[in-house]
Amino acid sequence: MKKSRSKPHQGKLEIQRDPYDPFVPSHARAIILGSTPPARFCLPSDLALHPRDIDWFYGSCDRGCNTFWEAMFRVYDPDGLAELNDLRDLELPREEKTRRQRDFLQNWLKLRSLGIMDILDSFERRDGSGTDAKLKPLSFRDPLPFLQEAPKVKAFCCTSLHKVHTWLGRSLALHGIQLEQRDGEFCFELKDEASKPRLIWVYRLPSPSPIGRIRFPNHQAWMEHLVSEYRRIYAMAGVLSNQ
């Protein structure tokens, strides 16, 4: 069931909810963790979406596409990039198009033992902005039930260097769990009286949003950086063989 979505107004704070349910297969070994999509994805109607938008995680495509899925395919499935582009250009009614797009991406993640979710549940958004800096969390998604349902998960891979990682820490703190640093990376322990503590690593991916491109001379240089970092971090997370 879709959650209700409120319409943003320029210059105002709007209370919104994240529109997507977490997708965490029971066999997942890592969870990709984001914040929330741009404002138009949080509206009550899909009429605000752009023609090449995919109405799911990291599906934004207006002046330029969010590069998350491009980077993921370059890391795991370079030969599938054409299929990804075809997915954006399906000429179908939006509801059917969205169903096919989500099915495709969910199956793609399943094959790679990956889950995906956003850490924000409800939030204030300023000026209709899509940047994390203009979001004020009101409530967080609780990641612990998904770790229980997917006992092989050993890592969260946050899709920004700062905000998502910080918000995950605040969500965990509600359960009395603190992030700590070991060997230069963050992690936390899940303690269960019936078994030994379970260590979950928290890695930080560079943001795939357009603002991340600013310090790079062109798209190719930025993409090479993203792919290199994604490969390194997914290898550490145990969901990519060293290549």
Q: Which residue has the tokens 């357009």?
A: 210
Q: Which residue has the tokens 């879709």?
A: 2
Structure tokens at 204: 């930080």
Tell me, what's the pLDDT at 187?
97
Position 122: which residue type?
S
Residues 6 or more apart whose CB falls under 8 angstroms from that of 147 comprise 153, 190, 198, 200
In angstroms, the first-to-last Cα distance of the chain is 41
Residues 6 or more apart whose CB falls under 8 angstroms from that of 233 comprise 157, 203, 204, 205
pTM (predicted TM-score): 0.91
For the chain, which domains are there?
A: 13-21+28-236 (3.40.470.10)
Structure tokens at 190: 């899940």
Tell me, what's the pLDDT at 44?
79
H-assigned helices in the chain: 68-76, 81-88, 94-111, 144-149, 163-173, 219-236
Tell me, what's the pLDDT at 242?
60
Gap between the Cα atoms of 172 and 54, Å rounded: 30
The CB-side HSE value for 177 (13 A sphere, CA atoms) comes to 21
Q: Which DSSP string do the residues of 127-162 spell out, in sequence order?
A: TT--SGGGEEEEEE---HHHHHH-TT--EEEESSSS
Gap between the Cα atoms of 146 and 33, Å rounded: 12
The CB-side HSE value for 228 (13 A sphere, CA atoms) comes to 6
Tell me, what's the pLDDT at 11?
65
Could you give phi then psi for residue 127, rounded to 5 degrees? Answer: 60, 20
Q: 116 by DSSP, 3-state: which? A: strand
pLDDT tens string for the chain (243 positions)?
A: 444 444 444 568 899 999 999 999 999 999 999 999 999 999 877 778 999 999 999 999 977 788 999 999 999 999 999 999 999 999 999 999 999 999 999 999 999 999 999 999 999 999 888 888 899 999 999 999 999 999 999 999 999 888 999 999 999 999 999 999 999 999 999 987 677 889 999 999 998 987 778 889 998 999 999 999 999 999 999 999 864
Structure tokens at 170: 């605040």
Gap between the Cα atoms of 95 and 83, Å rounded: 20
Tell me, what's the pLDDT at 8?
45
Q: 85 by DSSP, 3-state: which? A: helix
Q: Work out the number of other CB atoms within 10 angstroms of the CB of residue 154.
A: 19
